[in-house]
């Protein structure tokens, strides 16, 4: 007898994977919901997941690597992860997911939308087959907001100041979002700062944000400039499509200093 195919939906605490969980709840009753917990996520994410579990009537299984981020940071020679060297995703998201799956045949449900031009795949293991229900059914960003609104979950609370899920120190954060972290979680901002170092021998800087330390970014003059640029980026985005709700504008607006791609595993 061939082994039973498992259905697994990996959630990030972000809007798209949450909307997909809501969308699939009654379509796939055997769904296993998982969350790869780096233990460095925002409290808002944990709170949101608790509400999602209540809505789904099922646990969102927490997967993690017991050794944690700080262990891997040491293994990688204290090189902070970056868009070019994303060891955090591999060690803290993909590997725990693959361990959970084992060799079972699995369909992995991924929340990439019908209006996105990208592919995302959490693993390259041959027993894992990706499925993209939102792409198959043409579900757009607008639909995602509607799904979350109609089920009563709404958006994660961090959306007031940051539009991507993931670790509090994620290097994919926009400059303005770092300031949002400072405003909303001053201690976490200090904790993120503590990870930044300068190598005494080479003078090389290890910073989260490109080209500047968090101290520099939070300098009042620089912070003012970042906020100004952010407002301008939001206004430009609004002007390009005046019919869009503000929440969509905020999700898409970024100035030229921001990294636009984000992480397909952590930010869905």
Q: Report the interface residues with ligand SF4, using CB under 6 A.
A: 38, 81, 86, 88-89, 92-93, 166-167, 170, 172, 263, 266
3-state DSSP call for residue 236? helix
Q: How many residues does the chain have?
A: 268
Beta carbon nearer to ligand SF4, 60 or 139 = 60
Residue 116 CB, nearest approach to ligand SF4 (Å): 18
Q: What six digits make up the tokens of 152?
A: 């009563």
Which residue number, 38 or 207, has a Cβ lying nearer to ligand SF4? Answer: 38
CA–CA gap between residue 126 and residue 106 (Å, rounded): 9
Q: Taking the complex as a whole, how short is the minimal distance between the CB of residue 65 and ligand SF4, in angstroms?
A: 11
CB of 135 to ligand SF4, least distance (A): 22
The helix or strand, by DSSP H or E, that contains position 7, with its residue range, turns out to be: strand 6-11
Nearer CB in complex with ligand SF4: 80/226 = 80
Residues near 246 by beta carbon (within 8 Å), at least 6 away in sequence? 238
User: Taking the complex as a whole, how short is the minimal distance between the CB of residue 89 and ligand SF4, in angstroms?
Assistant: 5
- The answer to whether the CB of 17 falls within 8 A of the CB of 104 is no
Q: Is 219 exposed, middle or buried (0-12, 13-18, 19+ CB in 10 A)?
A: middle
Residues 266, 165: contact at Cβ < 8 Å? yes
Closer to ligand SF4 by CB, 55 or 195: give it.
Answer: 195
Confirm if 228 and 200 have CB atoms less than 8 A apart: no
At its nearest, how many Å lie between ligand SF4 and the CB of residue 86? 6
The CA distance from 16 to 5, in Å, is 24
Which residue number is nearest to ligand SF4 in terms of Cβ? 166
**Which lies closer to ligand SF4 via its Cβ, residue 13 or residue 133?**
13
Residue with Cβ nearer ligand SF4 (89 or 253) = 89
């Amino acid at each position: 007898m061939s082994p039973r195919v498992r259905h697994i939906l990996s959630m990030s605490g972000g809007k798209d994977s949450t909307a997909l969980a809501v969308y699939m709840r009654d379509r796939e009753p055997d769904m296993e919901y998982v969350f790869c917990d780096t233990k460095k996520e925002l409290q808002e994410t944990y709170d949101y997941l608790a509400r999602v579990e209540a809505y789904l009537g099922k646990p969102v299984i927490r997967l993690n690597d017991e050794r944690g981020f700080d262990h891997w940071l040491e293994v990688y020679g204290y090189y902070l992860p970056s868009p070019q060297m994303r060891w955090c995703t591999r060690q803290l998201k993909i590997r725990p997911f693959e361990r959970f799956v084992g060799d079972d045949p699995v369909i992995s449900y991924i929340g990439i939308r019908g209006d996105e031009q990208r592919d995302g795949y959490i693993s390259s293991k041959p027993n894992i087959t990706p499925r993209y229900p939102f792409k198959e059914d043409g579900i757009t960003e607008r639909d995602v907001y509607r799904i979350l609104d109609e089920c009563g979950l709404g958006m994660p609370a961090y959306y007031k100041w940051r539009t991507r899920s993931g670790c509090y120190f994620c290097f994919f954060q926009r400059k303005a979002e770092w300031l949002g972290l400072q405003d909303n979680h001053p201690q976490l901002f200090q904790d993120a700062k503590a990870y930044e170092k300068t190598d005494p021998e080479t003078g090389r800087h290890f910073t989260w944000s490109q080209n500047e330390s968090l101290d520099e970014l939070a300098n009042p003059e620089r912070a003012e400039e970042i906020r100004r640029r952010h407002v301008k980026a939001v206004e430009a985005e609004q002007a390009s499509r005046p019919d869009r709700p503000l929440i969509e504008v905020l999700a898409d607006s970024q100035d030229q200093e921001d990294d636009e791609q984000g992480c397909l595993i952590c930010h869905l």
